[in-house]
Structure 1
Amino acid sequence: MEDIALCRSRPGDWLVRRAARGDSVVRLRLGRQRLVYLLGPEANAAVFRHDERFRAREAFAALEIVDGPTSVVLSDGADHARRRGLIRPAVAPRRIDGYLQTMGEAADEGLDEVVPGSSYDAYALFRRAVRRSTLRVLFGAELARRADEIGTMLQPLLDLTDKLPQVLDWHRRLRTPAWRRAASARVAIDAFVNDQIASQRERPSETGAAQGSGPMLPLLVHGRDGAGSGLDDQEIRDQAITMIAAGYETTGAAMGWIVYLLGAHPHWQRRAREEVRTVLGARAPAPPDLEHLSLLRAIVTEALRLYPPAMISARYTVEGFDHDGHRIRPGDLVIFSAYATHRDARVYDDPLRFDPGRWVDQPRRRPEEFLPFGGGKHRCLGSGLAMTELTVMLSRLLARGEYILDRPPVRARGFAAMAPEPGVVITHRDESGRAAGPTRLAGA
């Protein structure tokens, strides 16, 4: 199966068409809210380079039930800078290196559950694997055993993130059953995280946390900035829940798209498997290996170009400005789209073609041209963690051998975490081309 048609997002493709027509500004009204879509790299740059013109809180206010009022996602100004600075050490490169084994083990545990010779939904499998990995990274191995329970607890909240913020606000105003389920879920997950914070408060700062190993939570609890300021319990709880909810949902979706694209393009899969065999053999990656997995990283990058974690993002305008002959007024909700930018023929040659080679020839792009994790002062703090996790988990999948795509997804669903629907069903093959389920590998 070579070069099959890409799955599309109807809302995203509408923006792609408007951009192709040369529209840089598209205005809509939803109730009292004025929506202004800014399209193209120049528009993205206008947002990323002028943070003072915007606020995130009003743009994402409807997500407060999911992320919490003090989440860095909903923060602005000095509060945002302080919280971001206190979170950054937990996702620094040295810390991420310490999580590689956890990521590989989570992938192997999921793959080991597959019945030999059977087809399975790789999106669902890796979504669970990323959830286990995320919980281990945050809280440690013991609490990660409750990953499925916590996933069930979170699902009513995640169901809401799949909706446009304006629709979500209607749920809030009308107190719909979906909103009430989410509110109950938030109470339950708050209680769970509060227990972990209270337990950590009773312990001294751990040596492992200071040296770049061990779970993140101790660093969030005991970390201090240059002024001696730390995160309070609510701030820690909101950041932790944001990492769990946004982290595993978006990274799991991205892994699903990677599996789909390599299944649809076997020649790239073969090249990637050869790189894994050459660099790793059957073992999981260690930190020094990552720089030698250049093709895998290019594959991850190209998948994020075609299927960025969030189709759109938004800012609330507080300071009016002009863009391409249009006046953007205070109170306008400015929306920009990674999906539309990444599929713009003026930015990328043959943009609908899956071609990881483009990232080998030109490994870096300007922030306004490649924005799967947003940009500017609100660029996702977990981008390095996500890139590494996707590379590690892809290496573990490819180490199991060739696979074929039995049932591709039908469409790309969602706004905040664009997921392959209904899933990505694959089957592994042995060397003779027959179906062969994955087996345990040495070094896993």
Structure 2
Amino acid sequence: MTVRYPPGEILLKLHARFGPAVKAGPSYAYLLGPEANRFLFANSELFSWREAFDLLVPVDGPTSLIVSDGEDHRRRRRLVQPALHHRQISTYLDIMTATADATIDAWRPGQRIDLYQEFRAAIRRSTIQSLFGARLGGEADFFGTELQPLLDLIDRLPQAVDVHRRLRTPTWRRAMAARARVDERIYAEIARTRAGASEVDDHALATLVHGGDEQLSDLEIRDQMVTLIAAGYETTSAAMAWALYSVLSDREVYERAKGQQDREYLNGIVQETLRLYPPAVISARKVVEGFEFHGKRFRPGTLLLYSPYVTHRLPELWEDPLAFRPERWQGHKAAPHEFLPFGGGPHRCIGATMATTELAVMLGRVVARADLRLLPQRIRATSPAAMRPRNGLRAEVR
């Protein structure tokens, strides 16, 4: 059974009643559905990312790709991209496989586990080791512990984050102390790599440090590293939980996926998971240049929200949209404005290929090597930024 997310359902109703443009006040609006997505992705010069995602700066930093605009964004993206090219990602497959196998090998028959937390830890280790080498990969638990207060801080409405910042609440102070510990460790590794002490020359940190004629500053490297680590495992592990929930809820899907020869079907499971449970229910843009869309005028300063969740569940785009049907992806390639789990346009998530590869590899290992049964539980979705099962995903090893 497909899990629904109440805030996303409200947006679906808004779209059904008012169409693709919904004004919620003088400085707040929704652009919903494929027509709106196409407009947003084709007119990036009208919008600011920095102003829309300012609440992420306490975690990701002021120079992160996700809060960069214009030429700064283009330059940083150009320098980060080589580490996330599909040819480079192919060199990470052994790490992804070994990490998934180590997780599975630790399970025992009769054991009850939280699949969300199990693979959150596994994907964090795999991501850090793949991108930044074995030294940092060995400290995955440290990064998980220290980044959690920061992730908890921003898992709130922007207004609430601003209140914590202005009042310097205990929540804010804990998060900033954790950030200082993370930064100390990352800056030490950057210095070590600059000094030529890196044990691997082709991982992402070496690429960021030795970027050829153009180079990133230490602050820029720090911000890209934290973004790739935190955003990488937070969103990918949520998608992994939904993939496992969907597969284990349907024995026919599970048995077909278990026949490892059908790689296309396994990739269809990943795509169908990202359709029904996109990493971000909503995303945002801040208007910097006024424009008209669908008969409505939008002024500078307006915060626009668009929703992959809405687009992915529209019956005019997807036959039987609430059904989990991996086979719908066989021979099908959706248009960018119709399927946007990683956003679109020049700001499309730079880690999209890394995420989908990690999901396919780890899911493949689970269905091939483990026998799991979902325990009776109420599955509810939470968080618009990285939609995940609110209380985890409990299963029994058989």
TM-score for both structures, normalised by structure 2? 0.96
In the TM superposition, what is the alpha-carbon distance from 1:380 to its structure 2 partner?
0.2
Give, in whole Å, the separation in 2 of the partners of 1:407 and 1:83.
Answer: 46
Partner residue, 2:369:
400
Q: 1:232 aligns with which of 209, 217, 236?
A: 217
In the TM superposition, structure 1's runs of 4+ consecutive aligned residues that sit over 3 Å from their partners are 204-208
Aligned amino acid, residue 336 of structure 2? P
Partner residue, 1:293:
263
Alignment check: 8 A CA contact 2:31 2:304 kept: yes
Q: How big is the alpha-carbon RMSD for the aligned residues of Structure 1 and Structure 2? A: 1.6
In the TM superposition, what is the alpha-carbon distance from 1:50 to its structure 2 partner?
0.4
Alignment check: 8 A CA contact 2:83 2:131 kept: no
Partner residue, 1:390:
359
1:74 aligns with 2:81: no
SS in 1 for 2:50: coil
Alignment check: 8 A CA contact 2:290 2:299 kept: yes
Give, in whole Å, the separation in 1 of the partners of 2:28 and 2:255.
Answer: 45
Aligned amino acid, residue 245 of structure 1? A
Give, in whole Å, the separation in 2 of the partners of 1:24 and 1:300.
Answer: 28
Per-residue CA distance 1:318-342 (angstroms, 9 max, x = gap):
1111111111111001110001111
1:17 aligns with 2:13: yes
Evaluate the alpha carbon distance shift between residue 62 and residue 401 of structure 1 in structure 2; reply closer, same or farther with a 3 A threshold.
closer
Evaluate the alpha carbon distance shift between residue 409 and residue 130 of structure 1 in structure 2; reply closer, same or farther with a 3 A threshold.
farther
Counterparts of 1:146-157 in structure 2 under 5 Å? 146-157=139-150
Partner residue, 2:154:
161
In the TM superposition, what is the alpha-carbon distance from 1:148 to its structure 2 partner?
1.2
Per-residue CA distance 1:3-42 (angstroms, 9 max, x = gap):
x2x222121111011112243222234xxx8221111111
Partner residue, 2:227:
242
Partner residue, 1:413:
382
Flag structure 1 segments of 5+ consecutive residues without an equivalent. 210-214, 280-291, 429-435, 437-444
Give, in whole Å, the separation in 1 of the partners of 2:225 and 2:182.
Answer: 10
In the TM superposition, what is the alpha-carbon distance from 1:160 to its structure 2 partner?
2.1
In the TM superposition, what is the alpha-carbon distance from 1:379 to its structure 2 partner?
0.2
Per-residue CA distance 1:231-259 (angstroms, 9 max, x = gap):
11000000000011100000000000000
Give, in whole Å, the separation in 2 of the partners of 1:167 and 1:301.
Answer: 33
Partner residue, 2:345:
376
Q: 1:309 aligns with which of 275, 279, 283?
A: 279
Partner residue, 2:238:
253
Counterparts of 1:353-372 in structure 2 under 5 Å? 353-362=323-332, 364-372=333-341
In the TM superposition, what is the alpha-carbon distance from 1:204 to its structure 2 partner?
7.5
Aligned length: 398
Give, in whole Å, the separation in 1 of the partners of 2:158 and 2:266.
Answer: 34
SS in 2 for 1:334: strand
In the TM superposition, what is the alpha-carbon distance from 1:98 to its structure 2 partner?
0.2
Give, in whole Å, the separation in 2 of the partners of 1:231 and 1:295.
Answer: 40
SS in 2 for 1:58: helix
Q: 1:332 aligns with which of 299, 302, 305?
A: 302
In the TM superposition, what is the alpha-carbon distance from 1:170 to its structure 2 partner?
2.7
Give, in whole Å, the separation in 1 of the partners of 2:139 and 2:24.
Answer: 44
Give, in whole Å, the separation in 1 of the partners of 2:117 and 2:250.
Answer: 21
Q: 1:216 aligns with which of 191, 200, 204?
A: 204
Per-residue CA distance 1:218-237 (angstroms, 9 max, x = gap):
1111013xxx2111100000
Partner residue, 2:106:
113
Give, in whole Å, the separation in 2 of the partners of 1:168 and 1:344.
Answer: 32
Evaluate the alpha carbon distance shift between residue 238 and residue 351 of structure 1 in structure 2; reply closer, same or farther with a 3 A threshold.
same
Give, in whole Å, the separation in 1 of the partners of 2:330 and 2:17.
Answer: 30
SS in 1 for 2:28: strand
In the TM superposition, what is the alpha-carbon distance from 1:350 to its structure 2 partner?
1.3
Q: 2:258 aligns with which of 223, 248, 273?
A: 273
Q: 2:392 aligns with which of 402, 419, 423?
A: 423
In the TM superposition, what is the alpha-carbon distance from 1:383 to its structure 2 partner?
0.1
Per-residue CA distance 1:372-426 (angstroms, 9 max, x = gap):
0000010000000000000000011011144222145521110111111211112
Partner residue, 1:441:
none
SS in 2 for 1:262: helix
Aligned amino acid, residue 217 of structure 1? L
In the TM superposition, what is the alpha-carbon distance from 1:361 to its structure 2 partner?
4.3
Give, in whole Å, the separation in 1 of the partners of 2:281 and 2:200.
Answer: 40
Evaluate the alpha carbon distance shift between residue 23 and residue 155 of structure 1 in structure 2; reply closer, same or farther with a 3 A threshold.
same
Alignment check: 8 A CA contact 1:25 1:38 kept: yes
SS in 2 for 1:186: helix
SS in 2 for 1:21: helix
Per-residue CA distance 1:175-198 (angstroms, 9 max, x = gap):
222222111111111111000000
| Percent of paired sites with the same residue | 49
Alignment check: 8 A CA contact 1:272 1:398 kept: yes
Q: Which has the higher helix share?
A: 2
Give, in whole Å, the separation in 1 of the partners of 2:361 and 2:109.
Answer: 22
SS in 1 for 2:267: helix
Evaluate the alpha carbon distance shift between residue 46 and residue 166 of structure 1 in structure 2; reply closer, same or farther with a 3 A threshold.
farther
Q: 1:194 aligns with which of 173, 178, 187?
A: 187
Aligned amino acid, residue 339 of structure 2? F
TM-score for both structures, normalised by structure 1? 0.87
In the TM superposition, what is the alpha-carbon distance from 1:312 to its structure 2 partner?
0.6
Flag structure 2 segments of 5+ consecutive residues without an equivalent. none
Alignment check: 8 A CA contact 1:342 1:348 kept: yes
Per-residue CA distance 1:18-71 (angstroms, 9 max, x = gap):
112243222234xxx822111111111111000100010000111100100000
Q: 2:3 aligns with which of 1, 7, 19?
A: 7
Alignment check: 8 A CA contact 2:133 2:200 kept: no
Give, in whole Å, the separation in 1 of the partners of 2:243 and 2:292.
Answer: 39
In the TM superposition, what is the alpha-carbon distance from 1:206 to its structure 2 partner?
7.8
SS in 1 for 2:99: helix
SS in 1 for 2:395: strand
SS in 1 for 2:375: strand
